[in-house]
Amino acid sequence: MKSMVLISPFARSCVFLIALAALALLAGMQPALGIERFPPPDFSGHAVPETVVPAPQSRSAGWFDVAALAAGLAAAAWLSLRSRSRRGIVILSLVALAYFGFWRRGCVCAIGSVQNIALGIANPDYAVPLTVIAFFTLPLVVALIWGRAFCSGVCPHGAIQDLVLVKPVKVPGWLDEILRVVPWIHLMLGVLLAATGSLFIFCKFDPFVGIFRMAGPRWMLVTGVGLLALSMFVGRPYCRYLCPYGVLLGLASRFAKWRPTVTPDACTQCRLCENSCPFGALNVPMPAQQGQERIARGRRRIVLLALLVPLAALLFGWLGGKVGIASLPLHPDGRLAALVLMQERGVLPAPVPEELTAFRQLGADRQSVFLKAGALETRFFTLGCWLGAAFGLVIALKLGRIFFPESSVDYATDSGRCVSCTRCFSACPYELVRRGVPVSLPQEGGRHD
């Protein structure tokens, strides 16, 4: 009888992801290995102008990037959940920062892929590249299984902030909860503008793209350097308070089957890890009985929160519609209609915009311009209402989290906020014992000095 080798589900998942990376790499190499049918033309006398935007990548390079992403995600999940190695995460962060950040110049980006997906859903004529779909879905699929492995050491935005953190300062809880609403606003506004074909704000206002490309507008470079300086003292400010993709990863990671834990064994509540997380992703124990007593004392809050959910959805839905209409001039057709109207009213500032000059020279129909703008206004308003209503539900749920925090009997990582950085592991004495470091273990419920 042949002996059977049992493989854990976690190991099978790792093997599957690595196999996916290999298949993506082979798929990308296939066109590159084809025979060149026609020789390239000779442009030896032509000087290529310098640009601050990276050149379009080849098909093979795109799939190589997907393979690198899949391999990085598998490595991050292994290092954070099995190996529990902070050193390994740091090395992975350096590699990801060097490749996805400075070598690819920030152009391979899961954050920006949200806009492509939104435009592809809203506009059937726009074909989203398969590589962009892969960059959007792979980190989310991994988050559903292993938590936010992408944030731990694969994302160059998170890596560059984590590597410069030297003296973390704790952000007050109330301020942290308020600032965590900003990524939702960023996400909703970005989806609105991308779905309507107006603007890709995630890419246009990315604070680290200027640093990755060593070029760009002065304001972009100043913003990036300033945010890096802040990252020396506030743990990952962009990831926590600005990143729109982190919102989606946080939602997905709450359903993860495997997720990082502070201790490899049972928690004795020695409190040594209490201040070990610089990102506000560590839940302090609250017995279930205490949570039930808080709910019993706050019945009025429960009723208020139940009434607040639909009211918040209606209020922010109305505001979202107003924001959508106000965003209309960001679209080329909406801007042209606004300029035509301003010129007719005699309030057009000098000099005359180029698009208006071209419109007059070509003798375009005024009525068609306003018909396009009217249809576009309806689209902006409808999408703004839906996104605003979704944001209202988020606000209501945020208030519910403040009123009634999750009960926990141990010091545990917040499944939605933990970025799998492994910083808190070394604070646990049981983790040190696992590593072979001689320490005295604390007694259950007592503080270890």
DSSP reduced 3-state for 71? helix
Higher local confidence (pLDDT), 428 or 297: 428
Contact 203, 105 (CB under 8 A): no
The shares of helix, strand and coil residues in the chain, as percent rounded to the nearest 5, are: 60, 0, 35
- Per the CB < 8 A criterion, the answer to whether 274 and 284 are in contact is yes
Strand locations in 196-252, DSSP E?
Answer: none
* Distance from C-alpha of 101 to C-alpha of 22, rounded to nearest angstrom: 22
Query: Which segment of 138-147, 228-237, 344-353 scores lowest on mean pLDDT?
Result: 344-353
SS3 407: coil
CB atoms within 10 A of CB 379: 17
Q: Are 323 and 196 in contact (CB under 8 A)?
A: no
Contact 397, 416 (CB under 8 A): no
pLDDT bracket for residue 27 (50, 70, 90)? very low
Name the amino acid, one letter, at 215.
A
- Token duo for residue 82: 């099995």
Banded pLDDT at 14 (limits 50, 70, 90): low
312-365 confidence digits (pLDDT tens): 889 899 999 999 999 888 888 888 888 888 888 878 777 878 877 787 777 777
Tokens 């020695």, located at residue: 270
Greater confidence (271 vs 441) lies with 271
β-bridge partners, 282: 413
Two tokens, residue 198: 């107006």
Domain positions in the chain are 11-28+61-280+415-434, 296-403
CA distance 270 to 449: 9
Residue 82 contacts by C-beta under 8 Å, 6 or more apart in sequence? 10
Q: Report the alpha-carbon distance of residue 18 to residue 143 in Å, rounded.
A: 16
Amino acid at 232: M
Which residue would you say has higher pLDDT here, 443 or 151? Answer: 151
- The stretch 233-249 carries a mean pLDDT of 95
Structure tokens at 165: 């953190």
- What is the enclosing helix (H) or strand (E) of 152? helix 149-153
Q: What is the pTM of this model?
A: 0.80
Residue that is written with structure tokens 């854990």 in the block:
8
pLDDT, position 91: 96
Helices (H) and strands (E) in the chain, counts: 20, 2
Q: Taking residues 232-257, what's their average pLDDT?
A: 94
Cα separation of 207 and 289, whole Å? 45
Return the axis-axis angle of helices 366-403 and 182-195, rounded to nearest 10°.
160
Q: How far apart are CA 278 and CA 276, in angstroms?
A: 6
- Cα distance between residue 442 and residue 397, in whole Å: 37
Q: First and final CA of the chain: distance in angstroms?
A: 55
Instruction: Give residue 62's pLDDT band: very low, low, confident or very high (50, 70, 90).
Output: confident
User: Across residues 134-154, what is the average pLDDT?
Assistant: 95
Compute φ and ψ for 286, nearest 5 degrees: -140, 110
Q: Indicate if the pLDDT at residue 405 is higher than 70.
A: no
